[in-house]
Amino acid sequence: MWYYTNEEDVMNYYIITGASKGLGEKLVDKLLAEGHKVIGVSRSGHSSHKKDENYTELKMDLSIECEAKTLIERAALHIEVENAKGIYLINNAGGLDPIGPVGSLDPDAIMKSLTLNIAAPMILSNAFVKIFNHVDCRRRIVTLSSGAGKRPISGWNAYCVGKAGVDMMTRSIGLEQGKDGIGAISFGPGIMDTDMQAQIRSQEASSFKDVEMFRGFKTDGALRQPENVADLLLKVLHDDNIEPGLVTDVKEVES
């Protein structure tokens, strides 16, 4: 486990989407425990952290384009740039729906999926670079990727497309920013014991033919715990020597 602990480093700011559950919740827990400033973004809010003076809650739905467009500007109001040691954006929010083979999908659900899984991270990353490009502190963007962005999975067409886009977005930012600019990372967390996995296991085989394999992951104890994945994500996020536009995953960090 590695992340800032020195008193002089307490003014690090983290904007975390999907902060109310799963990996996002564990990231919030760990960063607040270290005394950092966290701006948590979710549709439902996160009442367990509301009383922490270092936590700011923004209730927003990033599958709605107009809300994604304003998020970074709203978050920036809570960041004292002149005192910041580091400013970080963690694009964690995402969703599997719609699940099913092409030809059976609702067009509105497709648009909602692409807005949440790739358009919102691009909009947020674009605004983050625009606002913080010339700020004199460490600035990094990490976006949650998936193995589904690297290989097709039957029934996950929209999700696969979104996660493939995340990797290319990260590489593009790395190319533009270079070694000394804003760092960009695409991080695949692997299969975790979260609500998303429960959603997968609840599917019918007619919609998702690999459902029994994913049920087996749970039965066999193959799911990673979100708190452990959070440690590994933070390890990568704070690595002094990451390459521009790094695309990595939990297995590479573990090894």
Residues annotated as catalytic (active site), given as ranges: 159
Cβ–Cβ < 8 Å for 16, 39 = yes
CA 40, CA 216: separation in Å to the nearest integer?
33
Q: How far apart are CA 72 and CA 159, in angstroms?
A: 24
Question: Do 151 and 210 contact (CB within 8 A), yes or no?
Answer: no
Q: What is the dihedral of CA 237, 239, 243, 249, to 10 degrees?
A: -50
Q: Where are the beta strands (DSSP E) in the chain?
A: 12-17, 37-42, 55-59, 86-91, 138-144, 183-188, 246-249
CA dihedral 241, 245, 249, 253 (to 10 degrees): 0
User: What backbone phi and psi angles, to 5 degrees, belong to 21?
Assistant: -160, 170
- The whole-angstrom separation of Cα 3 and Cα 235 is 7
